[in-house]
């Protein structure tokens, strides 16, 4: 009963926003690294949560700066899968994520690679290196305000050739419409 009410509420929220869900996974696995882009507004999170629920994602985790884990928001973030990250110092984040991935039967580890809702010069590449180290594919997750569509696009298998892989990922996101386009840098990396 509660699950049905929750699903109905999620569908209602997305219908009110005139959103269409894209879910191209079709049984391609149960463990993924997920890119969440473009990310220029808090609304991205608000629309993504019901979409993930409707798509059947049950074990979604995401990285978020630890400064946001204060009362009462911390309960919301923990409940929705948030993992606090202290960006001010070097930590064992990658090895901790790898351990968590190995312990779970199903996990969608979501990275907002812009790292902020403000404009950035380039994306953070932790999603890429985590995928390489764990051997997991990357879902190119997106929210496109131009066409009111969000969800899981292509599944990308990183090759380890950084520049080639980043160019392919960058071309996928080149036509995605951010809520605030002036904050979305479509040039996502600086070639090495």
Residue 60 main-chain phi, psi, to 5 deg:
-100, 135
SS (H, E, C) the chain: CHHHHHHHHHHHHHHHCCCEEEECCCCCCCEEEEEEECCCCCHHHHHHHHHHHHCCCCCEEEEEEHHHCCCCHHHHHHHCCEEEECCCCCCCHHHHHHHHHHHCCCEEEEECCCCCCCCCCCCCCHHHHHHHHHCCCEEEEEEECCCCEEEEEEEECCCCCHHHHHHHHHHHHCCCCCCCHHHCCCCCCCCC
| Both structure tokens of 27 | 């049984």
Per the CB < 8 A criterion, the answer to whether 30 and 136 are in contact is no
Per the CB < 8 A criterion, the answer to whether 53 and 68 are in contact is no
Q: What is the mean pLDDT of residues 36-45?
A: 89
- Residue 7's pLDDT band, with cuts at 50, 70 and 90, is confident
Q: Supply the pTM of this predicted model.
A: 0.85
Tell me the residue length of the chain. Answer: 192
Q: What is residue 32's predicted lDDT score, i.e. its pLDDT?
A: 92
Question: What are the tens digits of pLDDT across the range 50-105?
Answer: 898 888 888 888 888 888 788 888 888 888 888 888 877 777 777 788 888 888 88
Q: What is residue 173's predicted lDDT score, i.e. its pLDDT?
A: 93
Q: What is residue 118's predicted lDDT score, i.e. its pLDDT?
A: 75
In the sheet that holds 20-23, the strands lie side by side as: 20-23, 149-156, 138-144, 31-37, 107-111, 60-65, 82-85
Per the CB < 8 A criterion, the answer to whether 170 and 188 are in contact is yes
Q: What is the mean pLDDT of residues 128-144?
A: 92
- Residue 2's pLDDT band, with cuts at 50, 70 and 90, is low
- Residue 192's pLDDT band, with cuts at 50, 70 and 90, is low
Pick 52 or 6 by higher pLDDT: 52
Question: What are the tens digits of pLDDT across the range 139-186?
Answer: 999 999 999 999 999 899 999 999 999 999 999 999 999 999 888 887
């Amino acid at each position: 009963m509660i699950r049905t009410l929750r699903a109905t509420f999620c569908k209602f929220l997305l219908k009110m926003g005139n959103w269409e869900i894209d879910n191209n996974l079709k049984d391609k696995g149960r463990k993924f690294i997920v890119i969440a882009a473009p990310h220029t507004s808090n609304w991205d999170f608000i629309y993504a949560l019901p979409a993930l629920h409707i798509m059947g994602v049950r074990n979604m985790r995401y990285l978020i700066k630890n400064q946001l884990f204060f009362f009462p928001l911390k309960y919301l973030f923990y409940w929705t899968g948030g993992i606090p990250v202290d960006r001010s110092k070097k930590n064992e984040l990658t090895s901790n994520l790898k351990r968590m991935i190995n312990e779970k039967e199903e996990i969608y580890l979501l990275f907002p690679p812009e790292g902020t809702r403000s404009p950035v010069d380039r994306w953070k590449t932790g999603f890429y290196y985590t995928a390489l180290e764990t051997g997991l594919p990357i879902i190119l997750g997106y929210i496109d305000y131009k066409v009111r569509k969000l969800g899981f696009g292509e599944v990308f298998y990183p090759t380890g050739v950084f520049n080639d892989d980043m160019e392919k990922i960058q071309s996928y996101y080149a036509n995605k419409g951010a809520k605030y386009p002036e904050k979305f840098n479509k040039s996502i990396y600086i070639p090495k």
